Structure formats: structure tokens, C-alpha cells
Structure 1
Amino acid sequence: MKSQPNRTHVFETRFGKIIALKQNGIIKAKSIRYAHSERFQLPVPVESSISDIIPPDKTPVCPQTLSPLVEKMIGVTAVETFEADESTQYLSVIRPENTVENEKLPVVAWIHGGSHEIGCGDMDTADPAEWVKEQHIIVVNVSYRLGIFGFLGGDENRRPNLGLFDIIEALKWIQTHIAYFGGDPENITLLGQSSGGDAIAHLMISEGTDGLFHRVIMHSAPLGLRHKRHKMSAEFLKKTEILKDETDVLKMVEEYRKWVPSVLKYGLKAAMPFGTQYGFPPLCREEDAETKWKENAAKYDVLIGLNNDETAFYLKTSESLGSFFRKGIGLKIMNKTVRKTTEFIYGHPAKLFADNYAKAGGNVYLFRIHSLLKENYLGAPHCIDLPLIFGNEPAWKPSGLLKDIPWAYIHENGKKLRALWAEFARTGKISDTAERPEILELRKM
């Protein structure tokens, strides 16, 4: 099927006239700046404009280094289409072209993953057009500061949790302006994967978020890595102090890698050196976090879960390990290691979160995505949920992640999953009669 030519659509909003593109039944208002910031300082919301707001030629992205693993497993990044910008407060609004007058569509705000270090809200592999058309919803893709710019700090000169503050500003923008796009400001769901799920869990207990969202969907949140990070972060902060005034942002992200915390010293949490930091705004102390989640159980509907073989994404793709652990007793050891690390980082913390939330009176569902394909060596690893949620076969075609998985299998299960997640976004519930994909284990807690 040939793509339709691009056409423009103008959204008349209090923020300004926003120029969007129409294509294949979708309207996309791309790369709207919602805030700006000075280095290591809080975001400042952007004021309304008298000029037309048009998307930049290139997609803004927080300065970062390319991950060879991500390039191999998810796809090669077309770097020429992105522009590094350390003040990365942008969002894109994607909605169906055909809507009824005064219709209020449920809104899903996508908070991308990438270990709080890499990624962007606007990636082809997370283009929600397919989901938006199928389920008649609005998706807002949010970009925010990452790595040394957004998730490392400890004083007034280098503030921590700036990525969280950015997302809060994005949610304020959505709450104020989404009605102009046909969205319902009283029905906003946060959807996050990996570190995006971690960010969402902490937004639930952050200051200044009341009324900004109503439901959350957390995929593969590494909540097992959230504990006792203070010493590690303080050491990392001190060692990178010499970079704080560096003018070359790309040099900054190359140089900080010299001082990434050691896994030998700090354990598995050092595999995600950047992160949310307790005891600094907008977060409470670490020892108060679970109490805060319980206190907020009545505020948010929760859908939380993981993929059954999360750490296979890292362990089974390692070339150095592959020759020893690909078959026989080596494979048995590998599979056991994948199970144990998956449960430690993702599985047990998700169940504990869901159990505690339910006991506090919260509405919560727990899910797990499996692979039922016998020839699929990786099983259901980290990120396998992304093509299920977003579809977009052309973007995922070169992915090493799907090497042993037919696209028809992804599409069949993904369409059912997208319907369930859209039902949750609309109502906060998933009916017992709704059709489940065969790969999904789901239960109300």
C-alpha cells in the first residue's frame, strides 16, 4: 500500500498555532518544545507563541552515545535525522485524523526507556500510529533529559532528578493543552518501559504530580535496582565534576564513561549507573517510598508486569558468553542465570509492588509476557514488548530481537495486547471477557 502524501493540519491552541502533519489516517504534531533549561537546572515552561509552531527539521535528542547492543537488537539509529540538544524538553502528539466534534479521547503519555541514559520519545520503533488508529486514542511521546544531564546530581549546582522534573512539566503541558487535540485531560495514562517504567513508579510518589495523570502502565521497570544507590551516585557525581562546564556535549557523554561505577563494587545496580535519587526533590527518602505508594493507592489504577526472560536480552546476546553457554550444560546454566536475574531485577519487585498496592486498596493488575515459540532462543527478553505495543513492521524488520519470530506472530498477539491496554487506559479495568493474546499471563490482584 502506497503512503499518502503529507498534508498539514493546524491546531488552534492557547499555546499557539501548532502545525501538524496528516498521513495515513494519523495527525502528528511533532517535537513541540514544552520547556527549556539551563545545564543542571530545573526546567522552565515555554510560554505561548504568536508565531506558528512548526516541527524542527531534525528530531531533538539528549546527547548520548550509541549502544552497540541496542543497534544490534533493536535497529541502527539514523543519526542524521537527530539533533543533539541537552535541553531536551519536547513532546509529540499523535491522534487519529477522523474524530467526532467535541469527542474526548483517552490519552496515553509514552515515557521511553534506555537506562535513564539513552533513547528518545520519537523513535520509529516506538511510533504509535498503528495503535492510535486501531484503538482511537491519543498518544503523546515525551522526551526529557537523560544521563549526566538528567539523572545524576546531588547539590544546587548539579541538581538530581531533572529528568523527572522534565516529565512533570510535560504532564502539566498535556493537562493544560491536550483538549485542543481532542484529548481528555481527565483520562491520562502514563505508559513506560524499562527505565521509563521506573520513572513512572517514582512519579506516583513525586511532589507536584497530583491530578496530572490517572493510570499507569509499567513494563519491565527495573525496580530491583532502585535500592541503596546513594554512595554509588555520590561517587559518580564527584568523579564527573570536571565535566560540568564542558561546552562540547558529545565530548561530555564520551568522557563520563571513564568513571561509570563498577559492577564488582556496587553489584547489579551499577549496570544502570544513572537513576532516580531518593532524598532529593521531588522524591521522598528511600525508606519512605513504600509507604508513599501505599498512601497513593487510591489515586492511580496500575498495570505492571514484565517479560518472562528479560535478561536474555543482555546475557544470551553476549558474544563472549555465547560460545560457552549456547548448548548442553552451558545452556542450562545460562537459562538458570536468566531466570534468577530476571526475577531479582524485574519479577519479584513487580509482584511485591502489586501485592502491597492491592493490600492498600489499590486497583492493580499484574502481567507477564511469554514466548511460546520453541525455536526462539531468546524467549521473551527485555524490549520484546515494544513491537507488540507499537507494531510498525518496517521499523522492526532489521531487528535482531525478532530474528526467530515471524512478524505475523508479533502482529496477531500485539493487536490483542494493544486492545487490552487501550481498554485499561479508557476505564482502568480489563474485562474478563476481553480476548487475551496467547503469550499473556494477566491477573487482577
Structure 2
Amino acid sequence: MGRGRQPQPAATALRFTAPAGTFTARRGDGVVRATGIRYARAERFAPPVPEPPAAGVVDATSWSPACPQPPAPELELVVTDPMGELVADEDCLRLSVTVPDDADPGSGLPVMVWVHGGSYVSGAGDAPAYDPAALVREQRVVVVAVTYRLGVLGFLGGHGRPANLGLLDLLQALRWVRENVAAFGGDTDAVTVFGESAGADAIAHLMAADGARGLFRRAVVSSAPLGLSRGRARMSDAMAAEAASLPATGPVAAVVEAQARVAARARRYGLAGAMPFGTQYGSPPLPAEEELEAAWARSAPEVDLLVGTNSREVALFVALLPPAARLARTPGAGRAVERLVRALTRRIYARDAERLARRHRAAGGRAALYTLSFGGPGALPGAHAIDLPLLFPHRPTWAASPLLAGIPWEEVEAAGREVRRVWAGFARTGEVPADVPPFLRVDRG
């Protein structure tokens, strides 16, 4: 078993009464948490159906289960005990709300809805690596963490099955937030979606999605692999053909076990095959690929955007491949590896972040573009996911990470306070504060 966070004793329980029902929460660590709340249900390979209001009092003191997913040994190399005590359950359409311990329904606090990453195949909203307590305590915001369907269950359609189910899950979660978050002290007119990696990619696509209008006012898109999002139709079709025989009922373990076989069909499709599962254009709620930019333009005046990348995203993936890591430490070859890191970081992440910011501004929206380069001796400065321990400083998870090697935890905490201040400031105002830390470069347009 892992070493995840445990529910607080029942003596600390509180209640929130919202349109969706009355929820028993728990106080601890300077915050109050209502966890594992259903926002929808779904049959396998079917769209989500909103959860009706609950009768009676709902116990919201258990973590949201994770979507069933194959093992991810690479996560164990980056974080300690990445899933903690979370269980996996196909009935995973849940969210958790964390508020300052003195919040009440009239507080009107900014709301930040977290969409986790993991290449659309791994992770969970309540994973310890995303513990929002520090962000909530320091910045007096409400954080809602969403768990949604992944992999073949959530991000592969075709051959008679709907695509983008995980994206539809997120839309349903945002509808729940709009209808209920005021009861937890949140301001429904100040909802910011924020996410990293695949979570950020999902947010960028929510900005173009049918049915998303009015569900959020601001978006933080961090390290989105938008360079892999186009030209995927043939790859997705090949994967869908492989997945067509997967059962729509019965034990989910057989579906999860088959996911590697389905993903293997993507290998012949070049760089896009590095993230085989993802959004599919032309299937609800997304427009056809050729209509994507027009859809983004329509939403731009209504959504403030903070978009950016870390300076050396691909350095993490080099470090996780032993032959490449050894090569990177060789003086002559190391320089060539570094050039490759910079080139692929631009190709997969930075170039399209810049394009998104430019298009957003041209269409009448406000957009700030950032580059984050935090790191230190022996660590992986500017690597993919280096922003996560800054936003969510759960020490048991992050202290031993190679991302932070050689960096005293006190420096991580100090840098994290700055990043949390900037992110929460954007959530309040739609603008990046004038004073930002030296490792964060911002183009305000």
C-alpha cells in the first residue's frame, strides 16, 4: 500500500449544502475538503450523464478513485508513491473541493479547477502530487480537482464508439462547478481552469469545445504538447480498429490490459505516437480540424489566457531513458543532446504555445505567455513537470524527485510561494502580476 493522505477524524467534519446535495467535509492542514463527490456517471464507452441531486447527506470524506489505468513505472522514477492510497474504479467521475478553513458560502473566492496531466493515460485528480492545500491556504482560493476517464476508456473513439469522452467528462464537471461552487465559498464568475501537460492540452481544447461557453472565465495552459495534436486522424483510426473488439461490459481489467496493444498501433505514426491517446477533431464536442482556429477565435474575447512552457521540457524524458541519460553526461555528445532537448521542446511545446497566445490576442482576447526555468545543480532545470512541486508542494511526494535533486526543500518552498502567487493572481484578475520571480519570464503582449 502507498503512503497517501488519510481522511481526518470524524470529529472535524463539516457540512456544505449545495444544489447537488448536502456534503459532509473534513477540516485539516488549514483547509476544509469535500472529496470524492460524484458529478456524473457513465457506462463504458458512453457519454457521461449528470448526477442528479443527492437525497440525504453525502459523506464526502473519501478521495476520488482513479480511472483504471496500466502501471506507469516512469512515474515512480519522478515522484514517490504517485497514487498514494487511491483505489482505481471505473466509476471515477468524481471531484474534490478544497477551501480555506474559514470560508463560507458568501466568501466569493476565486475558483481554480485543476485538470491533471499524464499523457491522457495516467494520474488522478486526488493524487498526492496534486495536493492543493498550500495553494488554498496561502492564496485564499477554492480548488476543485477533477478525475476523468483516461486512455482507451476516455480518449479513443471511432468504429462506432464516441470519441473525446474524457473531454465530455470535464465539461460535465465544469457544469457541476458552475451550479454548486458558490455553496463552498466560490465565485461562479471567477472560474479558472488550470492544468499541466495533457491536462493543459485538454484545457486548450475546451476553449474550442461546443458547450464550454460560460463555464470558465480564465485558463492556465502549462506545458501542453500542442505540437502533437494535429494530423492524428489516421493514427486514431488504426488504434480504434484495434480497440473495436474490447468489451463494453464486464471486468475493466481486460480493457486496461489491452491498452498497450492498442497504443502499439501508433508507433508507425512518428512523433504523434509518443502520445497516442488524445482529443479527436470532428467528434463532439470538438470542431473539425480545419475549423479549430475559428473556434478558438470565437472564445478568445471571453477567456483570459495564461499559456506557457518550461524551458527544457524534454530534459525529463531524456533523463528517464538510461542510454540517453548516459549520453547527455558525455561532454561532446552532451552538447548534441542538449540541442535536441531544446529543439524538441520547441517543436512539441513552445512553438504552439506562442501561436496560441498570438491567435488569442489577434482575436480580441487577453493572453500572457511565460517560460519557466526553475532548477538547480544536479537537477533538471526547466524540465517537464518542474512546475508541479512548486504549485503543489506535497513534500513526501516530491522531496526525493530527480527534478529537484540538489535543491534544498526550503528553496522549493520559497519558489513555490512565488508561482502560487502568480497563478492565483491571474485567477483573480486575468493579469499576471507586475513582479514575477527571476526564473519566470513573461510576455504580456
Pairwise TM-score range, normalised by the shorter structure: over 0.9
For 1:423 and 1:392, locate their aligned partners in 2 and report how far apart those are by CA, in whole Å: 21
For 2:379 and 2:39, locate their aligned partners in 1 and report how far apart those are by CA, in whole Å: 43
Match of 1:425 among 418, 424, 427: 427
The 8 Å contact of residues 246 and 252 in structure 1, kept in 2 or not, is answered as no
Whichever residue aligns with residue 371 of structure 2, its letter is R
The 8 Å contact of residues 33 and 61 in structure 2, kept in 1 or not, is answered as no
The 8 Å contact of residues 39 and 87 in structure 1, kept in 2 or not, is answered as no
The 8 Å contact of residues 36 and 62 in structure 2, kept in 1 or not, is answered as no
Worse-superposed segment, 129-138 or 412-421: 412-421
> What are the residue-to-residue correspondences of 1:43-82 with 2, within 5 Å?
43-55=48-60, 57=62, 59-78=64-83, 81-82=85-86
The question of 1:12 aligning with 2:17 is answered yes
Q: Return the offset for 1:4.
A: 8.6
For 1:115 and 1:264, locate their aligned partners in 2 and report how far apart those are by CA, in whole Å: 15
> What are the residue-to-residue correspondences of 1:123-162 with 2, within 5 Å?
123-155=127-159, 157-162=160-165
For 1:107 and 1:101, locate their aligned partners in 2 and report how far apart those are by CA, in whole Å: 13
TM-score by structure 2 length? 0.94
Whichever residue aligns with residue 378 of structure 2, its letter is N
Q: Indicate how the Cα distance of structure 1 residues 415 and 310 shifts in structure 2: closer, same or farther if over 3 A, else same.
A: same
The 8 Å contact of residues 83 and 127 in structure 2, kept in 1 or not, is answered as no
Whichever residue aligns with residue 442 of structure 2, its letter is L
> What are the residue-to-residue correspondences of 1:308-323 with 2, within 5 Å?
308-323=311-326
Worse-superposed segment, 30-39 or 257-266: 257-266
Q: Indicate how the Cα distance of structure 1 residues 252 and 128 shifts in structure 2: closer, same or farther if over 3 A, else same.
A: same
Correspondence for 2:378? 376
Correspondence for 1:438? 438
The 8 Å contact of residues 32 and 90 in structure 1, kept in 2 or not, is answered as yes
Correspondence for 2:103? 99
For 1:96 and 1:121, locate their aligned partners in 2 and report how far apart those are by CA, in whole Å: 19
The question of 1:197 aligning with 2:200 is answered yes
- Paired residues, what number? 438
Residue 190 of structure 1 aligns to a residue in which SS? Answer: strand
For 1:170 and 1:444, locate their aligned partners in 2 and report how far apart those are by CA, in whole Å: 30
What are the Cα deviations for residues 161-195 of structure 1, in whole angstroms up to 9, with x where unaligned? 00011001100000001111011111100001001
The question of 1:37 aligning with 2:49 is answered no
> What are the residue-to-residue correspondences of 1:205-244 with 2, within 5 Å?
205-244=208-247
Q: Return the offset for 1:58.
A: 5.7
Q: Return the offset for 1:57.
A: 4.8
What are the Cα deviations for residues 216-255 of structure 1, in whole angstroms up to 9, with x where unaligned? 0010000000011000000001012222346232232122
Whichever residue aligns with residue 423 of structure 1, its letter is G
What are the Cα deviations for residues 120-150 of structure 1, in whole angstroms up to 9, with x where unaligned? 0001110110010000010000011110110
Correspondence for 1:22? 27
For 2:42 and 2:51, locate their aligned partners in 1 and report how far apart those are by CA, in whole Å: 10
Whichever residue aligns with residue 47 of structure 1, its letter is P
Whichever residue aligns with residue 299 of structure 2, its letter is N
The question of 1:335 aligning with 2:335 is answered no
Match of 1:403 among 391, 402, 405: 405
Correspondence for 2:387? 385
Q: Indicate how the Cα distance of structure 1 residues 364 and 181 shifts in structure 2: closer, same or farther if over 3 A, else same.
A: same
What are the Cα deviations for residues 387-418 of structure 1, in whole angstroms up to 9, with x where unaligned? 11112223312323222322222111110111
> What are the residue-to-residue correspondences of 1:268-283 with 2, within 5 Å?
268-283=271-286
TM-score by structure 1 length? 0.94
Correspondence for 2:115? 111
Q: Indicate how the Cα distance of structure 1 residues 381 and 437 shifts in structure 2: closer, same or farther if over 3 A, else same.
A: same
Q: Return the offset for 1:333.
A: 1.3
The question of 1:289 aligning with 2:272 is answered no
What are the Cα deviations for residues 60-94 of structure 1, in whole angstroms up to 9, with x where unaligned? 11110121111111222356x22222232100000
For 1:57 and 1:9, locate their aligned partners in 2 and report how far apart those are by CA, in whole Å: 14
Q: Indicate how the Cα distance of structure 1 residues 323 and 25 shifts in structure 2: closer, same or farther if over 3 A, else same.
A: closer
The 8 Å contact of residues 4 and 24 in structure 1, kept in 2 or not, is answered as no
Residue 298 of structure 1 aligns to a residue in which SS? Answer: helix
CA RMSD of aligned residues (A): 1.8
Whichever residue aligns with residue 75 of structure 2, its letter is V
Q: Return the offset for 1:5.
A: 5.9
Match of 2:89 among 85, 94, 101: 85
For 1:324 and 1:262, locate their aligned partners in 2 and report how far apart those are by CA, in whole Å: 29
Worse-superposed segment, 58-67 or 122-131: 58-67
Q: Return the offset for 1:198.
A: 0.6
For 1:444 and 1:149, locate their aligned partners in 2 and report how far apart those are by CA, in whole Å: 38
Q: Return the offset for 1:441.
A: 0.5
The 8 Å contact of residues 414 and 437 in structure 1, kept in 2 or not, is answered as no
For 2:226 and 2:176, locate their aligned partners in 1 and report how far apart those are by CA, in whole Å: 28
Q: Return the offset for 1:197.
A: 0.5
The 8 Å contact of residues 21 and 55 in structure 2, kept in 1 or not, is answered as yes
Q: Return the offset for 1:103.
A: 1.8
Whichever residue aligns with residue 115 of structure 1, its letter is S
Residue 115 of structure 1 aligns to a residue in which SS? Answer: coil
